[in-house]
Amino acid sequence: MTWTDPAIWYANLPAFHAAAAAWITDPADKLLLVKPTYRDHWAFPGGYVEEGEYPHRACAREIHEELGLVIAVGALLIVDWASPAGDRPRALVSFTFDCGVIKDLDGVNLPGQELSDAGFFTPQAAEERLPRSVAPRVRAGIQARDRLSPVYLADGIPDGAEGSSGGAA
């Protein structure tokens, strides 16, 4: 076996994107979703992790940018590995953090160029508004918050038990 320079080794490893989202509910356990202006569907508040940024800090930054709120980012609830799909040639690892409960949308300030609406939805209504690949995070988030233990999804499938297109690590 020949030795490979670490710079070459790391440059040839697969790359992926990372995103961070907030799990925010109201006192009735309805889930906060936002409506991006650039998509047909609703989404969890959040966005991509920037270079050199920790996912929990990206979550806090995105909540401040998208909602105008300063919220403590709590426990990790969900890690969802999304295989490359459509126009996205790389896998996406999405981290969803428990960001607590807010009473209502008073104080929320949406950036009109990025988000057109925000609202609290029952789990079923949230699943109906989210893309099919993201909707499983609703049940996973409820489970994780109840059990105080994060849930791993692979392409939306709990524990990656079925249908995984990825290889062994």
- Is 3 within 8 Å of 73 (Cβ atoms)? no
- pLDDT tens digits for range 151-168: 999 999 987 554 444 443
Share of the chain above pLDDT 90, in %: 78
Q: Note the CATH architecture for domain 14-158.
A: Alpha-Beta Complex (3.90)
d(CA 103, CA 121): 13
Asked if the model's pLDDT at residue 108 lies above 50, the reply is yes
- pLDDT tens digits for range 9-51: 888 888 899 999 999 999 999 999 999 999 999 999 999 999 9
152 to each of 7, 93, 107, 131, how far by Cα in Å? 31, 11, 33, 18
